[in-house]
Structure 1
Amino acid sequence: METLIRAVLESEEKKDFQQFIEQLSAIDRVYLLRNEILHAFANYCQEQEKPVYFFRSSAIGELIHAIHEMLLEDGAIWLMLRTRIASQESWWLSADLSQFKPVSVRALLDVRDRFVHSEHSQILKINFQPFHRDTPSIDDPRNIGQGLTFLNHYLCDQLSANPDYWVQALFRVLQRQEFDGIPLLIGDRISSRMQLHESVAQALKKVSQYPSDTPYTTLHPALQELGFEPGWGNTAGRVYETLELLERLLTTPSPALLEAFVSRIPAFLRVVLVSIHGWVGQEEVLGRAETMGQVIYVLEQARHLEQQLQADVQQAGLAWLGIQPQVTILTRLIPNCEGTYCNQRIEKLEGTENGWILRVPFREFNPNVTQNWISKFEIWPYLESFALDAAPQLVRHFGGNPHLVIGHYSDGNLVSFLLARQFNAIQCNIAHSLEKSRYLFSDLYWQEFEPHYHFSAQFTADLISMNAADFVIASSYQEIVGTPDAIGQYESYKCFTMPQLYHVVDGINLFSPRFNVVPPGINELRYYPYFQTESRHQRDRVRDLLFHRQDAAIFGTLDDAEKCPILAVGSISQTNNQTGLIAWFGQSPTLRNRCNLILITNKQHVTEASTPEEAREIEKLHALIAQYQLAGQIRWIGMQLQSDEMSEVYRVIADKRGIFINFARFEAFGRSVLEAMRSGLPVFATEFGGIAEIIQDGDNGFYINPTNFDDTTWKILNFLNQCDANPQLWQTISDRAIQRIDRHCNWQTHVKQLLLFARIYGFWDYISHSSREALQCYLDALFHLLYKPRAAQILDEHKQR
């Protein structure tokens, strides 16, 4: 980056850079982010009548495009440059551009603090970098999120370089496999790795004498005599395959062999999924608006995990021992449950043999609060006591300790950290969405956000849990490290400041092999293509709902119901940006003449709002509809639809050759986008977030920039015009969307990968346990000295309600 800065400051472009900085200073902006900087530079190029190449291809253009933050101080310019994905540099330039130098992260954080508070004081520095030194790390940023592949290669390289140590480690891992006192895989008769090698050869010879379909029970006496216990397979053929994998792994290790063998180890038979918020139940008890997507994800993941574990137990030959795997969703019990089952301690998970929902109540510090639903932004004071209360209930429920704890969202991940440590279990984190990226300057202005969002507790919890996890599942690569033009959700935790609270100098190792990208699945039985008409029993009723029915929760009567429908779905929030959607639609007469807008939200009236933010957004929506006189061109359905109704909504819009739009400012991995694509709708979705990894622009859907109204309008009208000229185009995009979801968003693949991660990372955790002790002490200190005081302040507020 020094070369590029020097190229600008030691050429004629220095004058342009100086004028550009002066122009920024004149508009009284001190702290600018990338989009603002690029917009201002585009205006500068236009005003100065620069050639087209100058905006991006000149040296100054390249430098401007690399700047993600700019701070203008008296006598200095501070730049945060993102030279490539997952790589940031900080630079200081004198105001007259005569000097420049790289600066440390600490210096940049101090400047950010001064921007908010002129008084500078000593502040706590959080730095996880020392704990990264002794752990393997990915080199190429393109491989971030492929942690399993990297770790397999790393372990096999280590096995080849030091076979005695690693074979001994593998032997110890196999030796400790058991379930409720029942030894699995190898018993006491095999007491060394050398004996293991010899016994495997003898077992292979013995098993080869039986027909491949011989049940394991027939083989058991002979294998036990050689030192082998159940778990190798349910038939002679399966046992032979597993033993042969182990023999090859011991002699000629490779990543593929390691993965294939470890995937067969019958470990992690008790799994708990932690989803704290509550309102987790069957079918229509799917969370509140702010957590609905997460709850649907958790229920589907739990069902498919349980089904996969049942199949694994059968294939491992353990069913004859009466071993039953179990998957349990841990959530909170809500006494005031509004007629649902959310006040019941235990509930069977439909579609499973041994899947459950276990509900544990929050302690009643103030029943007016704890007996009711609590927003995800207010839940922090209750998590530690919840974990303490849940632990013994889980043990009783499982009949033993859970082996794998999967956290969902920031609060569930923190509870998973507390539980996994207590049970000595493997911890998996799934963030779903990290709020830090969803609210602009949420760290820098945390004190202003604090009364409503309590980000000081949440961001601290995130730092603790993401660094404690044995492995992390992200839905997309962008969720971790963003794009060349945008910082990822996890990357935003790399370095940041919360003025007067703490500086994070190094908050996360983005190159850690703990990160793995695995998209979620979709309920294929519910969200199926529109042309499968034999199952569409709700079609007429949903068509009436979308275009004709009159109801207090429905706004608008369409002047022409035959115009092309544009469907938008989502709970009301600033991030989901329904106000931006209405403004965009209202400002385009051509679009309004061509299309109707169908907006489906969870509510429509201010009196229904559960948060001040939601109330403000509803008021703005009504005001914008009136401002642009959209009556007759919009249908706003503000009600909670049943799942079978919602799935049919997409298909009815597809019947009319409509389109789906996601206008969010940021979308981690939009469930509604996946549902729309599987139903056969062409999708126009925000380019900000992870959904761009499912959509291939122009092939099976389209990206839009919700801040660029003109470009979004052109994209949609151009598509519709092309469809008029070539009706097959709509069908082509529709078919490709369905195929894309079927290939890449599959629950069966998801849970197989998740269990493989648990087994590989469990092996890694066992052999590297001692190196994590210092990290655990550091995390404990952050929890007790930072997190708990922030949570206690929220609890004090709740006690006054």
Structure 2
Amino acid sequence: MIEHTKNSPLYIVLISIHGLIRGHDLELGRDADTGGQTKYVVELAKALAQQPNVERVDLVTRRIIDSEVSPDYAEPIELLAKNLQIIRIEAGPEAYICKEELWDHLDSFADNLLSWLHRQPRLPDILHSHYADAGYVGVRLSHRTGLPLIHTGHSLGRDKCRQLLANGLSMEDIEQRYHLSRRIDAEEDTLTNADMVITSTRNEIEEQYELYDCYMPEKMAIIPPGTDLDMFHPPTCPGKDIGFATTLEMSLHKPDKPMILALSRPDERKNIIGLLEAYGESPRLQQLANLVIVAGNREDIREMSDGPQGVLTELLLVTDYYDLYGRVALPKHHSSDEVADIYRLAAATGGIFINPALTEPFGLTLLEAAASGLPLVATENGGPVDIIGNCHNGLLVDPLDKPAIAKALLTILENPKIWQKFSENGLKNVAKLYSWETHAQAYLQKIQTFSQYRENLPKMPPVTKTVRYPARAIFTSIDHTLLGDPQGLEQFVQFIRENRKKFLFGIATGRRMDSALAVLKKHHIPMPDILISSLGTEIYYAPQLIADITWAHHIDHLWTPKVLQRIVSGLPGLTPQVKSEQSRFKLSYHYDSNMAPSMEEILTLLRQHELPANPTLSFGQFFDIIPARASKGLALRYIARQWNIPLERILVTGGSGADEDMLRGNTLGVVVANRHREELSLLGETEHIYFAEGPHAWGILEAIKHYDFLNL
């Protein structure tokens, strides 16, 4: 069902999962996860909510209940305005964890968020994901609802990998520390399936997104972030005292000298150590100006995590090596409310703002500094190229060239006319090009096409739901899961017959419907209430085996089987299966692992051809391609929604890679013991997944006892 919404005010959901997000006193720089992105999404939400054609904005993040952080992050709902709120969704442990540890909990986040959305008066018009983890969730929500997905990457895994390799880390170290393979895979999937990708600069498109298999510049929109011009402005009374000056006086011998200001979190990629070394190697720079590095907040460096601890320790060692005491300040504390005053203090001294990062996706601090009247020196890698190019208010430098950094700073400090020109250009052009009002209007204009239609799946199945089923279900695959041990199967069938009125019984298989029914009949397995066949592309309801045509219409979105056939047919090691195994929404091949490309290579090929699809390898020998919106897991969740069965009360059993997304998330997952269970080994650390010791049907019975299923 398509609902026309062209003239309706918009309901927008922004998804930003990691870090610490609240509507006030943002803890910017606390750690690597609480930086510019958190500020961006909060400011974006506020700006959109103020637009006349926006009905409602929800900023969705993860709920955190942890004595180590503020209780603000445990509040399920934080109201920011009449039509604006922060929604916190539970996923994984209650504690605050870094983004690299979130991956195994994102399916649960998606399940919980969709459940929350369905409790609202209506579904949103737009989903907008921020960063790779939210992109992973957004793709799944978009597939399940048909809602358009907008994505903003903020920073990208392939670019980060390139930078880390350049810094001397090995791929093994990078993977262990950052889990970049999962992040990059999520980014590739998001870029393939998103309706539009919002970037901040053209450089971001050409230098970073170009690294991805699914590189589609035509669906990327450049909308630079804004800055709050009411908060960030030049010092109105240059002689007026600014409170933060007292903090600096404790570290600086001559605090009235021009200030070279750097403001970032203590992260290696921000290159503030390189900046300090450049300052330490330039006596002229030390003579003309002080260096102030505001690198987050700290109590005891010894108790910080390895990354920030290493950066801050090195800053102290470099300060000592060059004997920079009295000329360098590394303040321990600052509040978010003081940031604007810090910029104004630097401007009042005739100072400069510098961003020496190895690469900078955009650079919100550059806009804030420019709006405060500061000239800029910034890295030539990333967003600053566009900002300084548009505003004509500073100089770009190679962040690895320390003499070049010092020369750029001296060029501005030693030439008052240049300083004045850069300051005035920044003030004028930031107000013209980078206000949040400008950003919000450009944003709404870009998404207009996608927000005109909203696709809603009906809330009830196409057959009458009988009243004899409680809200509980068992779904199992067939081959190498239900089948494989005759005695175990006999016991399972007996369990089904004895308890048939206590739950809904479903089959989810890669087989076609006719093939599945033949197997069930051969092994005397009771007819399921619901049959998911052909890897989730078909759904049938007993007893008449009525096909769900709504599901077929939903998954037909962007499905191009002839194009896919043409691309795959030329690959070695792939031969079409017999016609009886093919279907309208499933292309099936035999896979010879000795000759065929790897799954990663096949995925790359499909993405390079800009083809959203869901390729699956099962039992190491069966390769299938189905629509992007189809899978066993997506079909199962569609049924759960239609029949109003909580996922937490659905026991799902599988034994191969084709079952993975059915097992992830909030279902009660069961991996039975068989020779193909290694395809699901990555699920070992995931919540709600039980690895049974018993093989095949015995493993299902074992899991029923493990979960105490009948008493849920």
Fold shared, TM-score > 0.5 on shorter chain: yes
What CA distance in whole angstroms lies between the structure 1 residues aligned with 2:554 and 2:449?
Answer: 12
Q: Is the 8 A contact 1:285 1:340 kept in 2?
A: no
Q: Give the letter aligned to residue 53 of structure 2.
A: D
1:492-571 matched pairs, under 5 angstroms: 492-493=211-212, 507-511=213-217, 513-531=218-236, 539-545=241-247, 547-549=248-250, 557-571=251-265
Name the structure 1 match of 2:141: 419
SS in 1 for 2:143: helix
Q: Is the 8 A contact 2:131 2:153 kept in 1?
A: yes
Deviation per residue, 1:743-770 (Å, 9 max, x gap): 1112122222222222213569989995
Q: Is the 8 A contact 2:259 2:351 kept in 1?
A: yes
**Residue 603 (structure 1) shift:** 3.7
Question: Structure 1 residue 400 and structure 2 residue 129: aligned?
Answer: no
Name the structure 1 match of 2:448: 759
SS in 1 for 2:197: strand
Name the structure 2 match of 1:281: 22
Q: Is the 8 A contact 2:353 2:376 kept in 1?
A: yes
Question: Structure 1 residue 624 and structure 2 residue 318: aligned?
Answer: yes
Go from structure 1 to structure 2 and tell me whether the alpha carbon gap of 1:762 and 1:373 turns closer, same or farther (over 3 Å shift). Answer: same
Structure 2 regions of 5+ residues with no counterpart? 456-552, 561-611, 616-627, 634-656, 665-679, 691-712
The match for 2:362 among 637, 650, 669 is 669
Question: Structure 1 residue 431 and structure 2 residue 431: aligned?
Answer: no
What CA distance in whole angstroms lies between the structure 1 residues aligned with 2:198 and 2:630?
Answer: 25
The match for 2:348 among 646, 655, 671 is 655
Deviation per residue, 1:41-71 (Å, 9 max, x gap): xxxxxxxxxxxxxxxxxxxxxxxxxxxxxxx
Q: Is the 8 A contact 1:380 1:791 kept in 2?
A: no
**Going by fraction, where is helix more abundant, 1 or 2?**
1
Q: Give the letter aligned to residue 108 of structure 2.
A: S
**Residue 618 (structure 1) shift:** 2.0
What CA distance in whole angstroms lies between the structure 2 residues aligned with 1:593 and 1:611?
Answer: 35
**Residue 675 (structure 1) shift:** 0.6
Name the structure 1 match of 2:109: 386
Go from structure 1 to structure 2 and tell me whether the alpha carbon gap of 1:765 and 1:343 turns closer, same or farther (over 3 Å shift). Answer: closer
Question: Structure 1 residue 772 and structure 2 residue 558: aligned?
Answer: yes
**Residue 439 (structure 1) shift:** 3.7
Name the structure 2 match of 1:707: 400
Name the structure 1 match of 2:178: 453
What CA distance in whole angstroms lies between the structure 2 residues aligned with 1:464 and 1:347?
Answer: 31
Q: Is the 8 A contact 1:684 1:704 kept in 2?
A: yes
Q: Is the 8 A contact 1:527 1:679 kept in 2?
A: yes
What CA distance in whole angstroms lies between the structure 2 residues aligned with 1:668 and 1:790?
Answer: 35
Q: Give the letter aligned to residue 342 of structure 1.
A: Y
**Residue 575 (structure 1) shift:** 0.6
Q: Give the letter aligned to residue 418 of structure 1.
A: R
Go from structure 1 to structure 2 and tell me whether the alpha carbon gap of 1:697 and 1:746 turns closer, same or farther (over 3 Å shift). Answer: closer
**Residue 739 (structure 1) shift:** 1.3
Q: Give the letter aligned to residue 394 of structure 1.
A: L
Q: Give the letter aligned to residue 177 of structure 2.
A: H
**Residue 682 (structure 1) shift:** 0.7
**Residue 644 (structure 1) shift:** 2.3
1:145-294 matched pairs, under 5 angstroms: 176-177=3-4, 265-267=6-8, 269-286=10-27, 288-290=30-32, 291-294=34-37
What CA distance in whole angstroms lies between the structure 1 residues aligned with 2:406 and 2:164?
Answer: 31
Go from structure 1 to structure 2 and tell me whether the alpha carbon gap of 1:462 and 1:781 turns closer, same or farther (over 3 Å shift). Answer: farther
Go from structure 1 to structure 2 and tell me whether the alpha carbon gap of 1:371 and 1:756 turns closer, same or farther (over 3 Å shift). Answer: same
Q: Is the 8 A contact 1:267 1:759 kept in 2?
A: no
**Residue 608 (structure 1) shift:** 5.7
Question: Structure 1 residue 613 and structure 2 residue 319: aligned?
Answer: no
**Residue 794 (structure 1) shift:** 6.2
Q: Give the letter aligned to residue 114 of structure 2.
A: A
Go from structure 1 to structure 2 and tell me whether the alpha carbon gap of 1:790 and 1:520 turns closer, same or farther (over 3 Å shift). Answer: farther
The match for 1:747 among 430, 436, 449 is 436
Name the structure 2 match of 1:296: 39
SS in 2 for 1:342: helix
Go from structure 1 to structure 2 and tell me whether the alpha carbon gap of 1:293 and 1:330 turns closer, same or farther (over 3 Å shift). Answer: same
**Residue 267 (structure 1) shift:** 4.4
Q: Give the letter aligned to residue 283 of structure 2.
A: P
**Residue 604 (structure 1) shift:** 5.1
| Number of aligned residue pairs | 481
Question: Structure 1 residue 717 and structure 2 residue 401: aligned?
Answer: no
Q: Give the letter aligned to residue 508 of structure 1.
A: C
Go from structure 1 to structure 2 and tell me whether the alpha carbon gap of 1:312 and 1:792 turns closer, same or farther (over 3 Å shift). Answer: same
Q: Is the 8 A contact 1:529 1:678 kept in 2?
A: yes
SS in 2 for 1:377: helix
Go from structure 1 to structure 2 and tell me whether the alpha carbon gap of 1:521 and 1:736 turns closer, same or farther (over 3 Å shift). Answer: same
Percent of pairs identical after alignment? 27
What CA distance in whole angstroms lies between the structure 2 residues aligned with 1:330 and 1:279?
Answer: 12
The match for 1:358 among 87, 90, 98 is 87
SS in 2 for 1:348: strand
Go from structure 1 to structure 2 and tell me whether the alpha carbon gap of 1:652 and 1:467 turns closer, same or farther (over 3 Å shift). Answer: same
Question: Structure 1 residue 679 and structure 2 residue 372: aligned?
Answer: yes
What CA distance in whole angstroms lies between the structure 1 residues aligned with 2:128 and 2:378?
Answer: 29
What CA distance in whole angstroms lies between the structure 1 residues aligned with 2:681 and 2:258?
Answer: 51
Q: Give the letter aligned to residue 249 of structure 2.
A: H
Structure 1 regions of 5+ residues with no counterpart? 1-171, 179-264, 314-324, 364-369, 482-487, 494-506, 550-556
Deviation per residue, 1:457-488 (Å, 9 max, x gap): 1111111111110001000011111xxxxxx1
1:733-744 matched pairs, under 5 angstroms: 733-744=422-433
What CA distance in whole angstroms lies between the structure 2 residues aligned with 1:439 and 1:644?
Answer: 34
